[in-house]
Structure 1
Amino acid sequence: MKKIIILSLIIIANLSCKAQQIIPVEKAIDYRLAENGIPDNTYFKDINNLLDKFVGTWIGTYNNKTYKFKIDKFVNNYSGGTKEDVLLMRYIITNANGTQIENTTTLSDDNYLVIIGDYIQRSTYHLNYSGRESTCGQLGTIYIEVLKSSNNTKMKLFLLPDKIMISPSSCPQGVSQQIMPIDQIVLTKQ
């Protein structure tokens, strides 16, 4: 009888343990778009090191502003035991006089101003951006891609602003000016 109870406990323990399924991070978008969605206990891991080329400090200029982006790899934990390797992007924007317009370099990982990665598709990485005036239109998707001919030292970046309804009561000045480049710029790795 004792053996039956022990055997039953072992079987129950094995059935309740679900192994983590590791899937390449570049497949994450396929699972999100699939009818069945993302299975619990999935880890979208950068097993092919596709995100590594983006990691580092990148500098460029646009409209008389200097942009310095610091990109790090981060493990994002979602509900259901799902995890994903993503990029976090912090930045300093200065004007031609050297005055800082924005600096997110000291903010915590979960601060809404820290730009968080969404997914990689082909060689382009998509990140979600929200600025200080996100309710007034300062938000969208930032696209980054390392130039193949640059030996991973040049990267192009631009913001595609979201099209949202702006409330006159929340935004009496209308749509906020974008501080991120809406035209493609080329950044150099430091």
Structure 2
Amino acid sequence: MKNIITLFLAFLAISCNSQVVSLEDAAQCRDNPNCSVNYNYVKDINNTLNKYVGIWKGTYNGRVYEMKFNKSLYNDMGMKKDELTGRLRITTTGNIPVIIFDNFNEQDDAKTHFSGLGLTSDLQGYRMIFAGLVPSGCINHGTVSLGITSGIPNQMKIMYWSNNDIVVGECPSTFSQTFPEQQEILLMRQ
């Protein structure tokens, strides 16, 4: 199978200078040091992102996580890619919910700081980068992995990993990351 994909990618590289490749091909090429496909547009040819689009909601540790994912086109200096952009609202559970984080109604994708990195190399999930509010000395940005189990299209599992950055100063003891570190959260399509 790898040889077929490698041959296919090689054929794509030779066939034209300005290439369009699928999300799947780009994901498999990203982790392959022998891949030399030259492309300028990573396109959702197979509509793979559609299964993530919509509003998702779940609870974890006394918090309600509500996420909205849209498909968008990232375009920077001639390099384009179809990606997911996200919106996030976190509230406490209970009769009178308290808003912990909310960018749900932000119109500008760049201001949500929640955007797509691409499919995982095994093509079983999608990765996004997230950056929340950060007091001095704290880390509140990293990768969010999304996964929808085949056969259960209305259920999504997410998990967050912080970036390993060097910080300056002491993080306040009252600080809490937007997402819990490496904890699976189950969301249901709304």
Q: Aligned residues, how many?
A: 167
1:71 to partner: Cα distance = 0.3
Give me the whole-angstrom Cα distance separating, in 2, the residues matched to 1:154 and 1:172. Answer: 35
Give me the whole-angstrom Cα distance separating, in 2, the residues matched to 1:158 and 1:103. Answer: 19
User: 1:29-59 CA deviation, whole Å, 9 max, x = no partner?
Assistant: 345454787736x211000111110000000
Q: Is the 8 A contact 2:55 2:67 kept in 1?
A: yes
Aligned to 1:146: 148
User: Which secondary structure does the structure 2 equivalent of 1:119 belong to?
Assistant: strand
TM-score by length of 1: 0.79
Give me the whole-angstrom Cα distance separating, in 1, the residues matched to 2:188 and 2:141. Answer: 24
TM-score by length of 2: 0.79
Matched ranges for 1:13-52 at <5 A: 20-33=18-31, 34=33, 39=38, 42-52=40-50
1:164 to partner: Cα distance = 1.6
Give me the whole-angstrom Cα distance separating, in 1, the residues matched to 2:134 and 2:69. Answer: 22
1:20 to partner: Cα distance = 3.8
Identity %: 27
Q: Which runs of 4+ in 1 moved over 4 A?
A: 30-38
User: 1:86-116 CA deviation, whole Å, 9 max, x = no partner?
Assistant: 00010110012411111112221111x3310
Q: Is the 8 A contact 1:56 1:70 kept in 2?
A: yes
Aligned to 1:11: none
Q: Is the 8 A contact 1:137 1:175 kept in 2?
A: no
Larger Rg over CA atoms: 1
Aligned to 2:168: 167
1:144 to partner: Cα distance = 0.3
1:176 to partner: Cα distance = 4.2
Letter in 1 for 2:139: G
Flag structure 1 segments of 5+ consecutive residues without an equivalent: 1-17
Flag structure 2 segments of 5+ consecutive residues without an equivalent: 1-15
1:147 to partner: Cα distance = 1.6
Q: Is the 8 A contact 1:32 1:38 kept in 2?
A: no
Aligned to 2:10: none
Give me the whole-angstrom Cα distance separating, in 2, the residues matched to 1:75 and 1:134. Answer: 31
Task: Name the Cα RMSD after superposition.
Answer: 2.3
Aligned to 2:185: 185
Q: Is the 8 A contact 2:17 2:38 kept in 1?
A: no
Is 1:100 aligned to residue 99 of structure 2? yes
User: Which secondary structure does the structure 1 equivalent of 2:110 belong to?
Assistant: coil
Using a 3 Å threshold, how does the CA distance of structure 1 residues 24 and 62 change in structure 2: closer, same or farther? Answer: same
1:82 to partner: Cα distance = 1.4
Using a 3 Å threshold, how does the CA distance of structure 1 residues 90 and 37 change in structure 2: closer, same or farther? Answer: farther
